[in-house]
Structure 1
Amino acid sequence: MVLLDEPFSALDPRRRGRTRREVRALHREWGFTALQVTHDFTEAGLLGDVAVLLDAGRVLQFGPPEQVFRQPASPYIAEFLGAENVFAGTAHVLADEPPDWLEGDPAALARGYHAIEFRSGPLTFYTVGSAGDGPCYAVVRSEEVVLSLAPQSTSARNLFRGRVVEVGTLGAFARVTLDVHGTPLVAAVTTRSAREMGLREGVEVYATFKAMAVHLC
C-alpha cells in the first residue's frame, strides 16, 4: 500500500493537474493500492474509488466519491462538500400513486422512489426518494439551479422567481445569490451566461431545478 499525504498541496494549478493525471495513469498501469489524505474533494473524486470522510477521528460517510458527493448523509457533510443550498424543513410523502411528473422517470420508479413535498419556510420543493414524513434537510447543489429571465418550458418540477442580491465571478463561473421570498438561493452559472443575461443586483430572474436534484438527509 502507498500512503499519499496531501501530495499535491504545494503545486501550482497547472502542475497539480498534470501530476494528478500521471498518478492516475500509474495506478491504472500497476494496480497498486493507495491511501490518499486530502482536503480537496475534487481531487478525491478524480483519483479515488472509495472516499472516506473523517472528522475528529470519526468516519462520517464512505462510498464511491460521486455517491458521497451527490447523496451526503447529513447537512454538515453537504456543507463540508461545498453545497450552498441546505434547507431545514419538513418532508411529506405524496399520494401512493406516482404523479404524472414521476411516471416519466422510470429509473426513479425502478428504485421504488415516491414523490415528496418538502416545505422550508415560504418555499416548497418537490423531490423523489425513499424518505418518509417528518423533519429533515434538503440539499440542492448550486450547479443544479438553472437561471433564466423568463419562465422556460421545461420538465423541471421546481420553479421560483427571485431577485439577484449578489454576483461573484471566479474564472469561468459566476456564483449568483438570489432572494426568493426572503430565503437565499445560490446558483452557479458560466460567466458568459451571467453576462448575456445581464445579471446584477436587483435583476429579477427565474430559478428552476429538477426534482431529482433535491437530496433529503
Structure 2
Amino acid sequence: MKGWLCILLLLETFVFVIQQQVNEGRGENEISQQLSNEDRRQNPPQTDTLRDEASTDSQQYCHLSFPDIHAALRELTATVTEQKIAFSAALMESGSGDVGPFPTDITLTYRNVFTNIGNAYNPITGIFTAPLKGAYMFSFSVYGHGNPLTPSTVSIVKNEQRVVVAHGHQDQYAVNSSKGVVLVLEVGDVVYVRLWSGSKINDNEDNHITFSGYLLFLVMCFTTVIQINVSLFFS
C-alpha cells in the first residue's frame, strides 16, 4: 500500500511539473508575440522565426499533457480508494461469564470475530491498527448485571487517549450502553476498548458486548509534499 501511495505521489508531482512547464511555455510565447509586434517592421524574417519557434515550443509543452499518465493516475487512485477496511467482533467465543472487576484498567480482547476485512483488527490483543490515513467509524457496547457497588463502564481509546465512554449502573437487572464515534487516524494509530478499574461486564452466546469499526473514506493530501518536491526539483 505504501508503494502505491509513493507512485501516486510521484505521478502527481510529475503532472504538476509538466503543467508548470506548460504555463511557462505559454508565457514565453506571449512575450515573443509582444516582441514580434514591436519589431516586425525592423526585422520581419528573424522575428517571424522566433515567433514560430516559440509557438512550436508551446505546442510541444502543451503536447506534454500525457493522457497515459493521467489514465494511470486515475487507475492507481481508484485502486487505493477501493481499499476496504472493516471489522466486527464480540467479547466471548463461547459460553458466558463475567469479566472484572480489576484493580486497574484492562484492554478488552474481542475473540469472537464476525468480520475482519483488511485484517487491521487483532483478536489476540483487541487492538485495531489503522493501515491507511482516513476517517473511521467505531462503535462498541457494554452489558452487565445490576449491582449497587459495581458499575459496567468501558471506554474507547485512541493512542492511549480516552475518547468516548459507555457506562451502565443500577442496583439490579441488566444494564447496557452503546456508543459510536468517528475518528481521523494516521497510519499506525491504534484504537481499542478499555474496561475501567472496579467495573464488571457480562457476556454470553447472545453477544451483548461488541466492538466494530470500518473505514469511511481516505484522507490524502499531496499538495504540500508536491510543492516541496517541485521546489527541490527546480533548485
State the TM-score, normalized to the length of structure 1: 0.21
Query: Between Structure 1 and Structure 2, whose CA radius of gyration is higher?
Result: 2
**The structure with more strand, counted as a fraction of residues:** 1
Structure number with the bigger relative contact order (C-alpha 8 A, sep ≥ 6) is 2
Return the TM-score normalized by structure 2: 0.20
